[in-house]
């Protein structure tokens, strides 16, 4: 429904991780952020082997580096080695259960493997642990919003549509100019509440935020679709509205 690509932003993870570690009494994460940044750059460019070398080196000097464990788990998710990633995320959580971003990554993994019940549990843990600190800076807010988008997508796959609406509304409270959230709400109102007016209002807001964007084109397409299909109850599948 939402079709927003879930990109955790590994370096954003690191920034939050370093901040979190600094706030703990037993700070074992002393590696310079530049090493994480290099690993993130390599992962972004698809050079997973070199990123793995950096992260494994960090872990060889500190096996309890939960930030590196989480990042290495992300490497294995990119490789679609979910079992290895699961072990790394689980280890990171065992070391520092209050670190929210390991829960986010684990929730994302469970979403990808269609274990929606566990995904919802882990993403809500992330949400609870981040909700009092997400506004530290824009990067933290971006990670938090992406986590909520992921949670809304999991609820959609689990067919819990009321929770989809709630999470999209939560996103807009935090970041009022999120086109994807307005677009998702438009699809929700048209498809599940059968309210053309509410759907139109959301699609129109999505367009107004950035009229030249691809999402604005999708929203305009949805408005045109509603014009010729006034009753969504007779449309068995509207997923094509959310075009790639």
What whole-number distance in Å separates Cα of residue 41 and Cα of residue 48? 10
Confidence at residue 72, expressed as pLDDT on a 0 to 100 scale: 95
* DSSP-assigned letters across all residues of 134-191: GGGSHHHHHHHHHHHHHHHHHHHHTT-HHHHHHHHHHHHHH-TT-HHHHHHHHHHHHH
For domain 1-167, is the CATH number 3.40.50.150? no
pLDDT, block means (10 residues), the chain with 244 residues: 40 47 45 77 90 94 93 94 97 95 95 97 96 80 92 94 96 95 94 92 97 94 86 53 38
Rg (alpha carbons) of the chain, rounded to whole number = 19
Can you give the pLDDT at residue 136? 73
Q: Would you state the pLDDT for residue 228?
A: 83
pLDDT of residue 234: 53
Query: What global pTM score does this model have?
Result: 0.82
**Long-range pairs, 167-174, Cβ under 8 A, ≥24:** 168/2, 171/145, 174/134, 174/135, 174/141, 174/144, 174/145, 174/148
Q: Where are the domains of the chain?
A: 1-167, 177-244
What pLDDT sits at residue 15?
Answer: 46
Q: Would you state the pLDDT for residue 31?
A: 52
In this prediction, residue 98 carries a pLDDT of: 92
């Amino acid at each position: 429904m939402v079709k927003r690509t879930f990109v955790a932003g590994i370096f954003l993870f690191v920034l939050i991780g370093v901040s979190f570690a600094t706030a703990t009494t037993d700070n074992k994460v002393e590696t310079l952020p530049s090493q994480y940044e290099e690993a993130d750059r390599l992962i972004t460019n698809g050079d997973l082997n070199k990123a793995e070398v950096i992260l494994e080196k960090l872990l060889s000097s500190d096996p309890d580096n939960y930030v590196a464990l989480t990042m290495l788990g992300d490497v294995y998710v990119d490789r679609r080695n979910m079992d290895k990633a699961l072990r790394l995320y689980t280890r990171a959580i065992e070391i520092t259960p209050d670190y929210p971003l390991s829960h986010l990554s684990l929730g994302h993994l469970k979403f990808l493997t269609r274990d929606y019940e566990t995904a919802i549990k882990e993403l809500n843990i992330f949400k609870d642990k981040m909700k009092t600190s997400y506004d530290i800076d824009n990067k933290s807010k971006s990670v938090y919003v992406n986590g909520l988008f992921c949670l809304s997508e999991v609820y959609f796959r689990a067919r819990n549509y009321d929770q989809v609406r709630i999470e999209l509304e939560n996103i807009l409270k935090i970041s009022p100019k999120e086109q994807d959230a307005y677009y998702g709400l438009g699809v929700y109102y048209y498809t599940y509440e059968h309210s053309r007016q509410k759907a139109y209002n959301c699609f129109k807001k999505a367009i107004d935020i950035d009229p030249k964007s691809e999402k604005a084109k999708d929203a305009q397409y949805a408005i045109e679709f509603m014009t010729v299909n006034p009753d969504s109850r007779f449309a068995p599948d509207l997923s094509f509205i959310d075009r790639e």
